[in-house]
Amino acid sequence: MKFSRFARRTKHDEILADVVWYFGVGNDCTEDFIHMIGQLLTERYLIIERLGSGGFSETYLARDKYLPCNPLCVVKQFQLSPSSTISLEMARQLFETEARVLDQLGQNHAQIPTLFAYCHEQDQLYQIQEYIEGENLGDEIAQGKCLTSEAAIDLLNQTLPILEYIHSHQVIHRDIKPSHFIQRDGVIVLIDFGAAYCVPITGKPTEVIFSIGTPGYMPEEQEAGAPEPSSDLYALGASVIHLLTGVHPKELERNPVTGELDWRMHLQGRVINPGLSTVLDRMVQRNPRMRYQNASEALAALGAALRAPAPAKRRSFKRGRWVPARQLWKPAVLSLLLGGWYFYFSNQIEGAGAMLTQLEHAVSQSDNDVALVHEASTQSDVNRMMVAPDNRF
């Protein structure tokens, strides 16, 4: 009799039994919960938990009933949010692009999720992706944890090759941020290619008619709808700065003279590797032409900066002896001269700051990329200026 009763069970009953088996859910489940959690896609993927939602998708945790041990996987259901600012057609295009990118890149790279299936069922569109189990860096920063200098260097060493790989396949991620990095067994995996953009083979990216990305991590050219590979480098640099300081990039102020992110003040006295600071500064340059142009260049610069010998420390001994007093007159005189020059130039620097502000206003109202200093009308005693090769001083 028991076998006969089991044989008469409907498929819906079997699905509910599986849900009960996975979660220990009782009969007090609501119909909405049953409808969302009990679906069996393509007779294979059983949805067991809701993970979250985005602008045009709902994400669920599921189990693959066809494989031994029923391994976990991720199901993304296409569903445009009512608050979304993009059209249904554009959202569908992005969803399909994500599937193509994962199918192309995830199969051959261990730090990119693999696409298992892309299917239509009951007028719904689904992706089934590899489930990446590990520590989400976005959750870590939300708990008030900050990266050490060494951990930040390791993060760059792991993620820059991922960007090098996807950029070599003419793909721009466009949504690099801490919550899209998962550390699995010590290895960083980049997830969520929902905003990915495929660059035309004919050359550099064509103009995109909409802006997509996360404010703070998204550079200005991407906000304007013209992403470049260096846009991902900016987002990665902003992400590492966020993880180092605990301060969201949106909350960082820009230096009034250089216009660049002023993030070191948020280190709260912590000392980080100077080579790391130099690389991060270059990655988050406001002007995309001033950044590293590709991930390989940034990775090489990071390696070179870390290999550079530390500046020699001043010593008060020579060969185990005190330095004779007569050898100290030159530093003393030099200090006096520098002190005098400092008081003189402090007034000049104030004038230079005022002049730079006026120049910035003059150039911003011009269509030219370059404006000569003597052509700009400024009210300042400063009549001559030099710009260092790093374009900052």
Dump pLDDT digits (tens) for 304-327: 998 876 555 444 333 333 333 344
Amino acid identity, position 258? T
What's residue 122's pLDDT?
A: 83
Rounded mean pLDDT, 372-392: 54
Contacts of 174 (CB under 8 A, 6+ apart): 195, 196, 197, 212, 213, 218, 222, 227, 231, 232, 235
Rounded mean pLDDT, 365-388: 52
CB 235 within 8 A of CB 213: yes
**pTM of this prediction exceeds 0.75:** no
What's residue 323's pLDDT?
A: 37
Rounded Cα gap, residues 186 and 159, in angstroms: 12
Confidence of residue 357 (pLDDT cuts 50, 70, 90): low
DSSP designation for 38: S
Which residue, among 182, 198, 231, 203, has the nearest Cα to 104 in the 3D structure? Answer: 198
β-pair partners for 46: 40, 63
| 88 burial level (CB within 10 Å; 0-12, 13-18, 19+) | exposed
CB 42 within 8 A of CB 124: no
What's residue 339's pLDDT?
A: 57
The catalytic residue among 64, 175, 192, 281 is 175
Q: Is the pLDDT of residue 347 over 60?
A: no
Q: If you write DSSP's letter for every residue of 173-228 in order, what string do you get?
A: -----GGGEEEETTEEEE---TT-EEPPTTSSPPPPSS--S-TTTS-HHHHTT---
Residue 270, SS3 per DSSP: coil
Q: Is the pLDDT of residue 359 over 70?
A: no
Per residue in 169-216, pLDDT (tens digit) is 999 999 999 999 999 999 999 999 999 999 987 655 554 557 899 999
What's residue 315's pLDDT?
A: 40
DSSP designation for 43: T
Rounded mean pLDDT, 371-393: 53
Q: What are phi and psi of 93, to 5 degrees?
A: -65, -40
What's residue 24's pLDDT?
A: 40
Average model confidence (pLDDT) across the chain: 79
Lowest mean pLDDT among 80-84, 144-148, 322-326: 322-326
What domains are there in the chain, each with its CATH number? 39-130 (3.30.200.20), 136-307 (1.10.510.10), 346-393 (no CATH)
Which residue, among 181, 169, 204, has the nearest Cα to 132 in the 3D structure? Answer: 181
- Note if 175 is an active site residue: yes
Confidence of residue 52 (pLDDT cuts 50, 70, 90): confident
Q: Which helix (H) or strand (E) holds 124?
A: strand 124-130
Q: If you write DSSP's letter for every residue of 273-326 in order, what string do you get?
A: -HHHHHHHHHHT-SSGGGS-SSHHHHHHHHHHHHHSPPPPPP-SEETTEEPPGG
Rounded mean pLDDT, 235-261: 95
Per residue in 90-141, pLDDT (tens digit) is 999 999 999 999 999 999 999 999 999 999 988 889 999 999 999 999 999 9
